[in-house]
Amino acid sequence: SISKWTRNRQTIYTAIVRDMTERKRAEELIHRLAYYDHLTSLPNRALFQDLLKEAIFRGQADKKSVAILLMDLDHFKEINDTLGHHRGDFLIQQVGKQLSHVLRPSDTVARLGGDEFGVLLPLASPDDASLVAQKIMKGLEQPIEIEGLPIAVETSIGISLYPDHGESVDSLIQRADVALYTAKKGGRGYTIYSQEQDQHTPRRLALLGELRQAIEGGQ
């Protein structure tokens, strides 16, 4: 701020400069803690959901599909328990780097928590999503070396697409998760969601509700 005053017929200006650097740094830190994973520096679940919401809006406008891939590492708990959490964290970091390496600049990879990652493919077809899943698995074929010990990384991937499998963030993530479970159970690497896989259909939920009411009513 600048102030003006007069002394002995001379005009004197004084300026007060406020250093905004620390405040800006604090705001950047808060933003980073809210939207980025501290271990991998990748977007976290909150930012992934925000970006997916934006991609859905864009898909609606362009009449294009949007794909998401959910993946986790097979047998990660055994690796973590055997080698320790520190080495498990290192493995997660290396997987995050490898995923970023195989994706296009327009794609987004996020760490959603634990050993779970999400990939967002804006304006992508089922064939695009399948190709990316294959590239991810190919990229992880080479063992990751941890302190001289080569660790084979295996992953399962579930895929869902807007608008075929859902039109909201929650429905797309839930159905990609169903496909992930199917891929993991069948040992198929990656699976695209289909309604036949889903044990949580509206009809099934309605039957469960009716069954609960019947039990409570002694029927």
> pLDDT tens-digit profile of 53-81?
999 999 999 999 999 999 999 888 888 88
**pLDDT tens column, 187-197:** 779 999 998 77
Using only the alpha carbons of the chain, give its radius of gyration: 25
Catalytic residue annotation: 115
CA distances from 31 to 22, 25, 47, 110 (A): 14, 10, 10, 16
Asked which of 40-49, 163-172, 198-207, 209-218 is least confident by mean pLDDT, the reply is 198-207
**pLDDT tens column, 134-192:** 999 999 999 999 888 899 999 999 999 999 999 999 999 999 999 999 998 877 799 99
What whole-number distance in Å separates Cα of residue 64 and Cα of residue 14?
A: 59
Q: In this predicted structure, what is the pLDDT of residue 34?
A: 84
Element (H, E) at 46: helix 45-62
Proportion of the chain above pLDDT 70, given as a percent: 78
Is the separation of the CB atoms in 71 and 158 below 8 Å? yes
Is the separation of the CB atoms in 165 and 188 below 8 Å? no
